[in-house]
Amino acid sequence: MARPPQLALPPPRTVPIVAQLLIYAGAAAVVGLWWTDTTSVVGFAGWLTNAGRVTGLLAGYACAVLLALMSRFPLLERTVGSDRLARWHALGGRYTISLTLAHTLLIILGYAASAHMSVVSQTTTFVLTYPDMLKATAGFLLLVATGIISASAARRRLRYETWHYLHFATYLAIFLAFFHQLSDGTDFIAHRPAQLAWYALYVGVAALLIWYRFLTPVRRALRHRLTVVEVRPEAPGVVSVFMTGRHLEELGAEPGQFFRWRFLTPGMWWTANPYSLSAPPTRDFLRITVRSVGGHSEALTRLRPGTRVWAEGPYGAFTAARRTARKVLLLGGGVGITPLRALFETLPGEVTLIYRARRPEDLALRQELNAIAADRGATVHYVVDEPVEYSSPLTARGLASLVPDIAEHDVYLCGPPGMTAAAISALRRAGVPRRRIHHESFAF
């Protein structure tokens, strides 16, 4: 086993900041489009209508941003990180739904007040007589329905696979709503430059989606021809899946990253689930380690050697590039050890691992972790809930008892949501700056 390379601290990471600035700049440009096209606002009806115009423009822009965030553009995936992009997407989704509802209501009220019509009559006139409004209405209803499904209370009742495919309705909703923006929007009618800019925005986002979410996975599947070679039990309900293929070094995968895996076998081919690499990738093999907690992960225990695999990725920024300090603590819980095991072998410098589980037999990959620790002279702390003599509370004091100078460390954190939330709170109380706590979640 090769020793990790010497530490070279990365340069400041600016892509997330630049990405946010570009999003805000685009929103400002959209408001500027309304501003330059509006000479005056007269009366209550005028204020309502113009508020509807602004919220409509921002909603249309936000739809394009939402799709771009989920396009799996490699630069964003490797620097911002999939979990942060998902959080941006979720926050942007709430803004988009709110802007869309506000736009619909304000435009109807504004036009109804101006024409001295009832709200019902004005709504009927819009839907049945204005160009592309019937399609836009269908898109609006789909978008709102998707927003309701994406709410936390509803999402918890759905399987990941069901939620994932229902979410594709967003594409159809945005497509249906797109055309009415150009045919009915005051800011686009007879304004060719604005139309061309809007087309360029949406066509550019569509190109990213088609290339990175659909064509790239197919191209890589044909290029690399991944197949399962072994399924190895690691702990109760935990297995490692070993895969081989061609030209795997071209994937550019790094320890800590994950793929979305699609196993081409009955009952599994139709869905792609995210699992982290549990060992550093090589030119011949990739490995994931999975706990059986649902239908998809349980089916992995029954995979047969020779099963074909499509792997979308690599994704995620949970890599050595996030490191800012010379000392690193890896803090894992349960099967969250998988990306940390790969990082434990490859991160340079002084590394400490804390691995938490319910019982000793639940500590997957323990022999490998001990071998890595012995080879590189690192420290491993195993903490279990049972028996109590080996337990340690997930508190600032408990962590400091294991790692006295914990405030000087970068912390890579991976585990169940409850454990992760408790760990972040404990780490902050122990003096670890928030910028040094790195974690990635697959929660949907």
For residues 441 and 333, is the Cβ–Cβ distance under 8 A? Answer: no
Q: Does domain 320-439 have CATH number 3.40.50.80?
A: yes
Architecture of domain 225-315: Beta Barrel (2.40)
Residue 439 Cα to chain centre, angstroms: 12
Q: Extract the tokens encoding 170.
A: 């967003």
Return the pLDDT at 147: 80
Return the pLDDT at 387: 76
pLDDT band (50, 70, 90) for residue 79 = confident
Query: In this prediction, what percent of the chain has a pLDDT beyond 90?
Result: 62
Averaged over 406-414, what is the pLDDT? 94
β-partners of residue 327 are 350, 409
Averaged over 192-197, what is the pLDDT? 92
Q: Note the pLDDT tens digit of each residue in 112-137.
A: 999 999 999 999 999 999 999 999 99
Q: How far apart are CA 84 and CA 22, in angstroms?
A: 16
Secondary structure tally for the chain: helices H, strands E: 16, 11
Domain coordinates in residue numbering, the chain: 15-218, 225-315, 320-439
Averaged over 156-172, what is the pLDDT? 72
| Coil/strand/helix, residue 438 | strand
Query: In this prediction, what percent of the chain has a pLDDT beyond 70?
Result: 92
Q: Note the pLDDT tens digit of each residue in 263-304.
A: 998 878 878 888 999 999 999 999 999 987 766 677 888 899
For residues 89 and 80, is the Cβ–Cβ distance under 8 A? Answer: no
- Specify the long-range contacts of residues 24-30, CB closer than 8 Å, at least 24 apart: 26/61, 26/65, 27/58, 27/61, 30/57, 30/58, 30/60, 30/61
Q: Extract the tokens encoding 95.
A: 């803004």
β-partners of residue 413 are 331, 439
For residues 346 and 323, is the Cβ–Cβ distance under 8 A? Answer: no
Closest CA to 222 of 315, 309, 313, 314: 309
Cβ burial 29-58 (10 Å sphere, 16+ → b, else e): ebeebbeeeeeeeeeebeebbbbbbbbbbb
